[in-house]
Amino acid sequence: MIIYNTYMLLENEKENYVYIAETNKIFKINFLIKDVLLNKPATEEEMWKRVNRYDIKVDIQEMIDKLEEMKLIYERGDRIRKIEIEKLDICDMTLLVTQKCNLRCEYCFGDGGEYKNIGIMSFEVAKRAIDFLYEHSRNTKDIVILFFGGEPLINFEVIKRSVGYCKEKDILYNKKTHYSITTNGTITDDEIVQFLRENNFLVQVSIDGIESVTNANRFDIHRRGAYSRILEGAKALQDKMVVGARGTITPAGLNVSENVTHLLEEGFAYVHLAPANNMLKENDFEKIIENYFLYCEEFEKLLLEHKYKECIARHNLYSILREIHEGKKRNVYCAAGFKAISIDIDGYIYPCHRFVGDKEFCMGDVSTNVFEHDVIYNQLYKIPEKCKYCICQSICSGGCMHDNLLLMKNINIPAECNCKLQKFLTEQALKIYISLTDIDKKYLFGEESCYGG
Interface ranges with ligand SF4 (CB under 6 A): 333-334, 336, 352, 354, 384, 386-387, 390, 392-393, 396-402, 414, 419, 422-423
Task: With H, G, I as helix, E, B as strand and everything else as coil, classify residue 243.
Answer: strand
What is the closest distance, in whole angstroms, from the C-beta atom of residue 406 to ligand SF4 in the complex? 10
What is the separation of C-alpha 274 from the centre of its chain, rounded to a whole number of angstroms? 9
Q: Residues 6 or more apart from 39 whose CB is under 8 A from it? A: 50
What is the closest distance, in whole angstroms, from the C-beta atom of residue 335 to ligand SF4 in the complex? 8
Angle of helix 190-198 relative to helix 227-238, nearest 10 degrees?
50
Q: What are phi and psi of 226, to 5 degrees?
A: -100, 0
Q: Residues 6 or more apart from 189 whose CB is under 8 A from it? A: none
Q: Which is nearer to ligand SF4, 233 or 275 (CB)?
A: 275
Q: Which is nearer to ligand SF4, 204 or 422 (CB)?
A: 422
What is the closest distance, in whole angstroms, from the C-beta atom of residue 43 to ligand SF4 in the complex? 29
Nearest to 256 by CA among 215, 217, 213, 216: 213
Q: Which is nearer to ligand SF4, 392 or 429 (CB)?
A: 392
What is the closest distance, in whole angstroms, from the C-beta atom of residue 102 to ligand SF4 in the complex? 22
What is the closest distance, in whole angstroms, from the C-beta atom of residue 11 to ligand SF4 in the complex? 23
User: How big is the chain, counted in residues?
Assistant: 453
Nearest to 444 by CA among 325, 361, 355: 325
Continuous segment of H or E residues that includes residue 340: strand 340-343
Distance (Å, whole) CA 338 – CA 89: 8
What is the closest distance, in whole angstroms, from the C-beta atom of residue 453 to ligand SF4 in the complex? 24
What is the closest distance, in whole angstroms, from the C-beta atom of residue 403 to ligand SF4 in the complex? 6
Helix, strand, coil shares of the chain as percentages rounded to 5?
45, 15, 40
What is the closest distance, in whole angstroms, from the C-beta atom of residue 124 to ligand SF4 in the complex? 26
Q: Which residues of 87-100 are buried (b: 16+ CB within 10 A; e: fewer)?
A: ebebbbbbbbbbbb
What is the closest distance, in whole angstroms, from the C-beta atom of residue 355 to ligand SF4 in the complex? 7
Q: Which is nearer to ligand SF4, 130 or 411 (CB)?
A: 411
Contact assessment for residue 37 and residue 5, using Cβ atoms and an 8 Å cutoff: no
Q: List, in sequence order, every residue forming a beta bridge with 371; answer none if it has no partner.
A: 364
Q: Which is nearer to ligand SF4, 319 or 435 (CB)?
A: 319
What is the closest distance, in whole angstroms, from the C-beta atom of residue 396 to ligand SF4 in the complex? 3
Contact assessment for residue 253 and residue 246, using Cβ atoms and an 8 Å cutoff: no
Q: Which is nearer to ligand SF4, 259 or 412 (CB)?
A: 412
Q: Which is nearer to ligand SF4, 28 or 328 (CB)?
A: 328
Q: Which is nearer to ligand SF4, 233 or 398 (CB)?
A: 398
Continuous segment of H or E residues that includes residue 176: strand 176-183
Q: Which is nearer to ligand SF4, 105 or 390 (CB)?
A: 390
Q: Which residues of 156-190 are buried (b: 16+ CB within 10 A; e: fewer)?
A: bebbeebbebbeebeeeeebebbbbbbbbbbebee
Strands (DSSP E) along 33-110, which ranges?
92-96, 98-99
What is the closest distance, in whole angstroms, from the C-beta atom of residue 422 to ligand SF4 in the complex? 4
Q: Which is nearer to ligand SF4, 47 or 415 (CB)?
A: 415
Contacts 24+ apart (CB under 8 A), 260-265: 260/209, 260/295, 260/314, 261/298, 262/209, 262/210, 263/207, 263/209, 264/310, 264/313
Q: Which is nearer to ligand SF4, 196 or 396 (CB)?
A: 396
